[in-house]
A = this chain, B = another copy of it.
Amino acid sequence: MTKFGELKKKPQTALVTGATGFIGGHLVRHLRKLGWEVHALARCTSSNPDIANSATWHKYLGDYESVSLAIAVSQPDVVFHLASHFLTEHRPEEVERLVDSNLRFGMYLLEAMRQQNAQRLINTGSCWQHYDGADYDPVNLYAATKQAFEAIVDYYINVHNLKACDLKLHDTFGPGDNRKKILDHLIEIARTGATLEMSTGYQRLILLHVDDVTEAYVLLANMLLLDNSIESKRKSYALTTAEDFSIRDLVREVENHAKQKLNVKWGTRRSSVRLMLSPPRNFPPPPGWAQCHRLSDYLYKLFPDK
């Protein structure tokens, strides 16, 4: 029921890139739940039927025109740019894919936004751009392409009045994750009893539940929608928690909840060139954001009968 004098608000329109990914898929659902009209731009439509019906899908054909068409048709109030190609370490033949996914596609997106006057972007960065808390010191080439893309975003902000901010992500977990990250491996061996080969296990992670992450995207979107200031600079935010975990801490957490010893062989796998021994804490959280989900609650639900 609409009260007298109260206008029915037109729903906001989102365009989500990377919607076929773990966080992107959750974001699509969360935006739909909040009443947003959701469009997705991807190389292929999602095989997840739940998401498939939650968004209008636009196909990226590897060229500028398909991106431009998606922006023209969707007319997004906010673009949520989550698409990227992630690699811990790259081989020479993977450089091309890193350029195409993390720079070329994003540049098409920014140019199409400029041409169609779509003015708000949330860009996704990585804590791995900030090894040992540096302003910039990349852990890997993936992180370097993220940093490179920020320089391109700044051009569109400074010269073409784009309103944009970054959300720098740490590690994430949650239901429906098939990225085969470390936590999933540990949960799997707790269930199967299999053996897992590991490096030293001293690197430290900040781990966030995907629902806390999608909430952060929404807070930033609302901030961009409310912000009418002329002076604009790209601000970076991160979802940093007081608590962080070494890989060895994670093993203990899973062992505690599964009530069993995991078969982990420490030191049998080569470590990455750069091990993150203390997660960077350079950036503030989005205004109003607070962590609502803890790893221990998630693990408790996974191993309820123990």
A interface residues with partner B (beta carbon < 8 Å): 63-64, 68, 92-93, 95-96, 98-99, 103-104, 107-108, 111-112, 115, 131, 136-141, 143-145, 147-152, 154-155, 158-159, 273-274
Selected contact of A104 from candidates B93, B96, B140, B158, CB within 8 Å: B96
Residue pair B138, A144 in contact (C-beta under 8 Å): no
Selected contact of A152 from candidates B63, B131, B148, CB within 8 Å: B148
Residue pair A141, B155 in contact (C-beta under 8 Å): yes
Q: List 28 A-B contacts (CB under 8 A).
A: A63-B96, A64-B95, A92-B111, A92-B112, A95-B111, A96-B104, A98-B107, A99-B103, A99-B107, A103-B103, A104-B104, A136-B151, A136-B154, A138-B154, A138-B155, A138-B159, A139-B159, A141-B155, A143-B155, A144-B152, A144-B155, A147-B151, A147-B154, A148-B149, A148-B152, A150-B151, A151-B151, A159-B273
| Minimum Cβ distance to chain B for residue A62 (Å) | 10
| Minimum Cβ distance to chain B for residue A99 (Å) | 5
With A64-B96, A92-B115, A115-B92 known as contacts, the answer to whether A154 contacts B158 (CB < 8 A) is no
| A262 CA to B149 CA, complexed, in Å | 44
| Minimum Cβ distance to chain B for residue A101 (Å) | 12
> A141 — which chain B residues lie within 8 A by C-beta?
152, 155
With A68-B92, A92-B64, A112-B92 known as contacts, the answer to whether A151 contacts B144 (CB < 8 A) is yes
| A145 CA to B274 CA, complexed, in Å | 26
| A115 CA to B137 CA, complexed, in Å | 21
Chain B residue at minimal CB-CB distance from A108: B95
| A145 CA to B150 CA, complexed, in Å | 10
Selected contact of A148 from candidates B137, B138, B151, CB within 8 Å: B151
| A63 CA to B150 CA, complexed, in Å | 25
| A138 CA to B150 CA, complexed, in Å | 12
Q: Pick the most buried of A68, A95, A131, A150: most chain B CB atoms within 10 A of its CB.
A: A95
Chain A to chain B: the 3 pairs with minimum beta-carbon distance, closest first: A144-B155, A148-B148, A147-B151
| Minimum Cβ distance to chain B for residue A271 (Å) | 13
Residue pair A145, B154 in contact (C-beta under 8 Å): no
> A273 — which chain B residues lie within 8 A by C-beta?
159
Residue pair B104, A99 in contact (C-beta under 8 Å): yes
> A140 — which chain B residues lie within 8 A by C-beta?
155, 159
